[in-house]
Structure 1
Amino acid sequence: MSSPCAPRARRQEPTPECLSSPPPAARRKPTRPPPITPKRFTRFFTPRPSGRQLQDITRAALNRSHAAARPTPRKTVNFARAGPELRTPPSSARKRKHPHAYLSPDTSPAPSSPSKRPRYLTPEPFAIREDAPVLDEPRLCPAPVRRIPSLGPASRTLQRAFGGLPTVGRGFRRDHCAPWQPQTAAFYSSARDLHSLSQGAPPFCTASCNTNSLLAIGDEDGYIHLLDSEADFANAHVSWRAHSNAVMDLQFSSDDSYLAAGSGDQTAQIVDVRTQQTLSVLAKHKSSVKQVRFQPGDDKMVATSSRDGAVHIWDLRCKGGPMSVHSAWGSDAPYASVIRTLASAHADSSPATSTASLAALSRTSLTSKTETINRRNDVSITALSFLPEGRQHLLLTASDASTCVKLWDIRGRYSLRGPAVPISTTRHPESHNRHRHFAINSLTLNGNASRLYALSKDNTVYAYSMSHLILGVAPELSASSSSKQKYCGLDQQGLGPIYGFRHQNFHAGSFYVKASLRKPHNDRPELLAVGSTDGGPVLFPTDETFLKRESPHDDHDTDLPDMPSQKSSRPSLSRSTTTSRCPDTIPIYEHGTSLVRGHDAEVTSVTWAKNGSLVSVSDDLRVRRWQEGSEARELRLGGESEGKRWQCGWAAVEDGYDDDE
């Protein structure tokens, strides 16, 4: 029998004696690190489809330690965990040079065969919850989104100056970083800004051009005077007699080529400004024409209102028939044709409404009630205003019977047998319902047509929301109504005014007192100018960021932002200019500026020239031009010495405004 330790013999289970005696030195071979080159490294990790070669990799890994000198005895690798029948395959002592025989260093474990790995793994079972998990986190309730009010060009410019909407907390919604007084305190009028009428007839109306510095003045004798607001203001550019009676209203077309004039001779005419020739005669009213207006975007369409209570829509491209002949013009005049008539536009047509109106007039005499019933169909239409281009088919009207404003669509057909029915009507102010109704002298829209300013004879300029008027009704903004939004229908009663302007020097004593608005342009803000019986025009800044919200219905009034209180702009909810007026239920602001010493009689009409100057006419036969500059402060502080204030006017400010800081 051969020795158990004999070489080249079949490998058997090692005995303790064999494990304790090292192999002969002659048979030892120096052990070197396995030569893993990039080429062989790639070949080593390249997968092979043969399962036998994978087994040779395992056998080579075990036999590699046969020739190496180990301090510890050799022992058989135990694969007990892999299976009881798995044993290490026998191998000969001779080294086989096989490309797959080179493995990783001794510190790396021998990789298992990919053929022995399970192809599919079964995941551990887990429990499925039937109910959703209950979280203890509080529920998030985001703040409601509030609508941003409509902004004009001046407001958008200021908003961009402060970095946009995220940074307007200081500059826009809270304060203007400046008071309102500088917007109106710089107006003045010198002796060079005065034009006196030579005919001896007081001026009734004025209108400015849209594209140049010319303006027109109409007087009581029917004359029209053209003045230049930038050149010599003392002399008229041209004058001619357009009507045989007083000129009540004037307006230029969009390109200033035509001038519309309404007169007390019951007619209106369209004049060529360059030649002063009459192009069309509008003759169908039965009383004096109060106002005349071109339709925006179409100078061939004209609307006129009269004291007879009717509103006529004229098409200058259509010739009038034999029924249009007027005695003041004869049969050869170029008469125009009426295409739409709003008969008795502001007449009280319903018996129920008439009874309510009589109940509201319980404090008046029986004579006034009888007069009201007799003149139901002869309510004078004192004011007209088209909406801007894009909504030019909508027309606003006001009368001398009440403070309500009516909205009409001139595209509709209206009956001539009875009073016309409007789209919507504003509600009377609560103070008027408790006392009596007042008339409206003029209607003025702001630059973006979001606000309507109505000059009332109760010495107040009321501001209406045009979006509410177009919708007809908005009960969700009322404190007493919980119904949903309703859209406009025929003769729907809308909301009343949202706030008003008053001033201690502003009084509308006659129907000739009018208002005019300067649209914002460049660095000039929007301003509202009104005439006054007190002998001087009054200026009101219309920027609502200057207005402090102190309405009785603060929860529903979202149009006016909060503003820091100022002494002169604090609204008065109960102040009245007359002892018989009922308390007001809307905010009334008194932050206007009066222009003093310019006129000695009632200021009837005002208009804004193209260059931003204000022109006012008065019963003292004077036409004034008011400009902006530092001369206003010099006139206030100069005193009466050396005749510096002779024939001059300036803006009156509160004491201490001109003091040097």
Structure 2
Amino acid sequence: MPAESSRRSPLADISQRPLSSRTQQIASSQTCAGTGEENNVPSRRLLEIFSAAQAGSAGRKRSLKLALDDSDSSTQKHILNAINTTSGIISSINCKTQPPSNLCTKSTVPSRSFRSNRPQGMTSTLARIQTFGRRRCQPCYVSTRFLLLDYISRPSDVYTFISQDGSTLVPPFSCAYNNVANDARYLAVGDEDGAIHIVNTKKDDSHPASTTQILAHQNAIFDLCWTRDDSKIVSVSGDQTARLHDVETKKCLGTFSGHSGSIKSISMKQSDDNIFATAARDGNVMIWDVRCSSTASPRGDISYRPADRLINVHTSTRRAAPTKKTKHGSDGANTASAVQYMLHNDNILASTGSLDGSIKFWDVRNHGSYFRHTFPTPIQASKYTPITKRAHGMTSMALSPDGVSLFAVSSDNHIYMYNTTALDSPIQSFGGSGFACSSYYIKISVSPDGRYIAAGSSKDLYVWEIARPHKKPFIFQGPEREVTGVDWARDLGQGTELSGCSDDATVRTWKANRDLVQECNETNSLRNMHGMVTELSV
């Protein structure tokens, strides 16, 4: 029909159209008087070249050029001239039919192609990333920071714990989500009295009556972690011991003794739950293995000795300025405040201290080579450039899910990011906007998707977007006093959770609930009852 033919592309089927006068001259000059099949080869190849030019395939044209190597030079000359002529015609047609570059439909994203200013579609962008890499197609970073504004902490998301005698509320110091069971919604909380509380955050009003409680230590629990199968919990305490507990039976499976100061941090080996490391105020880092170095008492209690130890890992030989006093007191100049196993190489252990402000890498395969020296030498050490005259130290470390970045929070009110494969100076820092690391109890945690980092503060909980450090942080409101331990839920199913321990004797959990956030924004009285999230302006 005429209407259908008018809508067809000018080069829809060039092989079925009559040749122009110029093309007929080229074809006739290369054919003989006979009509045999061998005499029509140049004409057939010319039609194939036109079809390849229509598809815009430069590789096809090159392959056809190589296929004509056995033809005479005059044939190649005329065919290549036809290629150039046809390519110019197609380019001019495409320029007339393409829409202006300043038009952008709803199905496109503001990413640009390598050689054009035209916006690309989302599917095209992702395909080019897989084919050519990010540097070639230059895609834009898609931020999800606006989703954090949907987080809110309801009154039922606030948990309190009572002392053993039932007279007072006990402040929590540390918290950790489990890994796999129950959609990673079990939160273990260590309090000042040495008890571990396991809360199911999926249930409302899950308070002490329905909370699993383990009497673990005789002093405050400063850090704890789950095994990969969530069957056991390892906790460290101010009573200078670490202990392994069975979650189901609530029994202590072993006590790890060897430190002469309060244990501040624990890190499980990434590939083996039988091995973990601890850092303490005595300045030592110890490595423990539950498969060896154990003794049993007449009552059946199992005690473990350290499998390896690093002595004075962050002791400075120079006299430093005194550390700032806080309401909690201060850690000594010899304190090893945090320890972390690496992911890219689980034989490398990172440590940091409360004085020198540096991070050090240790190769744990050098068994026995460290504790023979009073001041052991690490395999790598970060460069510390103090921003003030007073010495500052690190209080906590956290590893990104991919193991590429290591974060450490400093008492100079900044969080520093390091490259784990080339430990040197910090590659990025986060801080400002009222964030204050006011004590050595403040910890940090990286979200499961690796996009955000959360940290406790002198008041409220702060969250930064890692890819946009120039942006000011989000403030998760609700706590009335200092926030110490923080942790993200491990799953990303219905939106992950974020929890924080506060000195107001509460543990508060923030969850995504857009409808409730909108309702609170419309009613001030309702807003004051919930822990909201605010985004500071730049």
User: Which TM-score bucket, shorter chain as reference?
Assistant: 0.5 to 0.7
1:126-525 alignment, distance < 5 Å: 160=126, 163-164=129-130, 166=132, 175-176=140-141, 181-199=145-163, 200-212=169-181, 213-236=185-208, 237-320=211-294, 333-349=301-317, 354=318, 358=319, 379-388=334-343, 391-412=345-366, 413-429=369-385, 431-432=387-388, 435-469=389-423, 495-520=424-449
Contact 2:474 2:536 in 1 (8 A): no
Which deviations, in whole Å up to 9, do the C-alpha atoms of 1:588-632 show, x marking residues without a partner? Answer: x34211112x11111111111234101111111111110123146
Q: Distance in 2 between matches of 1:201 and 1:454?
A: 28
- CA drift at 1:229: 2.0
- C-alpha distance 287-231 of structure 1, shift in aligned 2 (>3 A): same
**Structure 1 portions without partners, runs of 5+:** 1-155, 369-374, 470-494, 548-588
Secondary structure at 1:318 match in 2: coil
Q: Distance in 2 between matches of 1:537 and 1:318?
A: 41
Matching residue within 525, 531, 538 for 1:649: 531
Which deviations, in whole Å up to 9, do the C-alpha atoms of 1:219-267 show, x marking residues without a partner? Answer: 0011110001222353243113211111111111111111001011111
Answer yes or no: is 1:607 the counterpart of 2:472: no
Contact 1:260 1:293 in 2 (8 A): no
- CA drift at 1:429: 2.5
- C-alpha distance 430-333 of structure 1, shift in aligned 2 (>3 A): same
Q: Distance in 2 between matches of 1:448 and 1:158?
A: 26
- CA drift at 1:320: 3.4
Q: Distance in 1 between matches of 2:275 and 2:403?
A: 20
- C-alpha distance 613-497 of structure 1, shift in aligned 2 (>3 A): same
- C-alpha distance 631-180 of structure 1, shift in aligned 2 (>3 A): same
Contact 1:400 1:441 in 2 (8 A): yes
- CA drift at 1:417: 4.7
- C-alpha distance 378-411 of structure 1, shift in aligned 2 (>3 A): farther
Q: Distance in 1 between matches of 2:129 and 2:455?
A: 35
- CA drift at 1:441: 0.9
- CA drift at 1:636: 5.6
Partner AA of 2:380 in structure 1: S
TM norm structure 2? 0.68
Partner AA of 1:231 in structure 2: K
Q: Distance in 2 between matches of 1:376 and 1:201?
A: 22
Q: Distance in 1 between matches of 2:536 and 2:393?
A: 31
- CA drift at 1:300: 1.0
Q: Distance in 2 between matches of 1:271 and 1:157?
A: 49
Select the structure that is richer in helix. Answer: 2
Which deviations, in whole Å up to 9, do the C-alpha atoms of 1:365-398 show, x marking residues without a partner? Answer: xx88xxxxxx99961111110012x611110000
- C-alpha distance 205-161 of structure 1, shift in aligned 2 (>3 A): farther
Partner AA of 1:290 in structure 2: K
Secondary structure at 2:156 match in 1: helix
- C-alpha distance 196-157 of structure 1, shift in aligned 2 (>3 A): farther
Secondary structure at 1:610 match in 2: coil
The total of aligned residue pairs comes to: 396
Partner AA of 1:299 in structure 2: D
Which deviations, in whole Å up to 9, do the C-alpha atoms of 1:137-164 show, x marking residues without a partner? Answer: xxxxxxxxxxxxxxxxxxx999636654
- Structure 2 match to 1:637: 521
- C-alpha distance 253-458 of structure 1, shift in aligned 2 (>3 A): same
- CA drift at 1:191: 1.7
Matching residue within 496, 500, 506 for 1:616: 500
Q: Distance in 2 between matches of 1:158 and 1:455?
A: 40
- C-alpha distance 519-276 of structure 1, shift in aligned 2 (>3 A): same
- C-alpha distance 263-430 of structure 1, shift in aligned 2 (>3 A): closer
- Structure 1 match to 2:96: none
Q: Distance in 1 between matches of 2:172 and 2:124?
A: 39
Answer yes or no: is 1:540 the counterpart of 2:514: no
- CA drift at 1:652: 0.5
- C-alpha distance 531-166 of structure 1, shift in aligned 2 (>3 A): same
Contact 2:520 2:526 in 1 (8 A): no
Secondary structure at 2:349 match in 1: strand
Larger Rg: 1
Q: Distance in 2 between matches of 1:209 and 1:537?
A: 21
Partner AA of 1:338 in structure 2: P
Q: Distance in 2 between matches of 1:299 and 1:462?
A: 28
Which deviations, in whole Å up to 9, do the C-alpha atoms of 1:426-457 show, x marking residues without a partner? Answer: 0003525xx23311111111121111111111
Partner AA of 1:185 in structure 2: L
TM norm structure 1? 0.56
Which deviations, in whole Å up to 9, do the C-alpha atoms of 1:76-124 show, x marking residues without a partner? Answer: xxxxxxxxxxxxxxxxxxxxxxxxxxxxxxxxxxxxxxxxxxxxxxxxx
Q: Distance in 1 between matches of 2:390 and 2:346?
A: 33
Contact 1:227 1:233 in 2 (8 A): no
- CA drift at 1:421: 1.5
Matching residue within 579, 593, 596 for 2:474: 593
Q: State the superposition RMSD in angstroms.
A: 3.0
Q: Distance in 2 between matches of 1:168 and 1:201?
A: 51
Q: Distance in 2 between matches of 1:293 and 1:507?
A: 25
Q: Distance in 1 between matches of 2:278 and 2:361?
A: 15
- Structure 2 match to 1:526: 451
Q: Distance in 2 between matches of 1:286 and 1:468?
A: 33
Q: Distance in 2 between matches of 1:192 and 1:342?
A: 44
Secondary structure at 2:149 match in 1: coil
Secondary structure at 2:521 match in 1: helix
- C-alpha distance 424-256 of structure 1, shift in aligned 2 (>3 A): same
- CA drift at 1:346: 1.0
